[in-house]
Structure 1
Amino acid sequence: MPCSSITLHRVIVHAPSERTASGWRMVTPPADAFDPAKVRVTPVSEVRPGDTVIGTIQPHYGPLLQPLDCAQWVSYFSHASQPQEHGARPFDPQHCDWCVHNAYVLGVGVDSGYWTVDGCTTYSPDSLLLVIPRELAA
């Protein structure tokens, strides 16, 4: 019987903190914004209606903007997030003015493989998000 593959994401998720390891000050979500035990790392293309996106996972770059190993860092949204109304959808640069702007800045078109979620934030095809799945929402 063949084995099925499991995608593992190299991310360490820490509780929100007002300071980074290097001492930079950060804005954090309200203390009661979410239950950390319910958070999952999810590819952007798999965000569904009812899921709550609470942050992003970003590549870690050195001082000369070179990728460092496979390390990634977590960026929490600075507000209490709402469940997604529509979930992820392929990027459509004509959807709204913000999407037109993102298409220009990112240089991407309709079939670019980029994704958007509620609020029209544009994500690259390999983006990972911090999500509370709709099944775990309280």
Structure 2
Amino acid sequence: MIRSNRTRTTTPVAFHHVIVRAPSEDMSPGARMILPPADAFDPLHVRITPAAKVRAGDTVIGTIQPHYDHLLTPLNRAQWVSYFSHAAKPQTVDARPFDPRHCWLCTHTAENFPVTAGHWTVDGCTTYRPDSLLLVVPRELAALEP
């Protein structure tokens, strides 16, 4: 909680239970990991951002995959961080609520996957759950990238 001495109000601050490691070739048995290019981003600029908060100019470089129990109930910890295996480009528009009428891919997604109006679309037509966390280089820091 953050307290303001002037108004004596409190504002809750959300903390995400995530440990982010730098990309490495360490992997579990049988898993193949493709690493992003070495100069794709500066790890000091990476922020954890809810999918709905991605803005035009931000660069999404990966996702945080939730951990589920045997009943597919999300647990309060991250299972892994998944970096994209390519040099990501800055977003051209802000994240938007999923719209199945946006294009043929969105229509296909809506017809074949359990996507609802609460989902968010980032990076063209990539759709994320409402509680998805992404690894983002904010637009203010993207200008500092090499």
- TM-score above 0.5: yes
Give the C-alpha shift of residue 87 in structure 1.
1.9
Secondary structure in 1 aligned to 2:105? helix
Q: C-alpha deviations, 1:68-115, integer Å up to 9, x for none?
A: 742212110110001000020111101111111111122335xx2111
Give the C-alpha shift of residue 117 in structure 1.
1.1
Q: Which residue of 2 aligns with 1:122?
A: 127
Computed over aligned residues only, the root mean square deviation of the Cα atoms, in angstroms, reads: 1.7
Gaps (5+ residues) in structure 2? Answer: 1-7
Of residues 34, 40, 45, the one that matches 2:41 is: 34
Q: Which residue of 1 aligns with 2:64?
A: 57
Equivalent residues, number: 134
Q: Is 1:78 matched with 2:82?
A: no
Q: Is the 8 A contact 1:11 1:71 kept in 2?
A: yes
Give the C-alpha shift of residue 67 in structure 1.
4.8
How many angstroms apart in 1 are the aligned matches of 2:108 and 2:88?
23
Give the C-alpha shift of residue 130 in structure 1.
0.4
How many angstroms apart in 2 are the aligned matches of 1:61 and 1:36?
27
TM-score (norm: length of structure 2): 0.84
Q: Identity across aligned pairs (percent)?
A: 61
Structure 1 moving runs of 4+ over 3 Å: 64-69
Of residues 46, 53, 67, the one that matches 1:46 is: 53
Q: Which residue of 2 aligns with 1:10?
A: 17
Secondary structure in 2 aligned to 1:71? strand
Q: Is the 8 A contact 1:59 1:67 kept in 2?
A: no
TM-score (norm: length of structure 1): 0.89
- Greater Cα radius of gyration, structure 1 or 2: 2
Pairs within 5 Å for 1:83-122: 83-109=90-116, 112-122=117-127
Gaps (5+ residues) in structure 1? Answer: none
Q: Is the 8 A contact 2:66 2:75 kept in 1?
A: no
Q: Which amino acid aligns with 2:87?
A: A
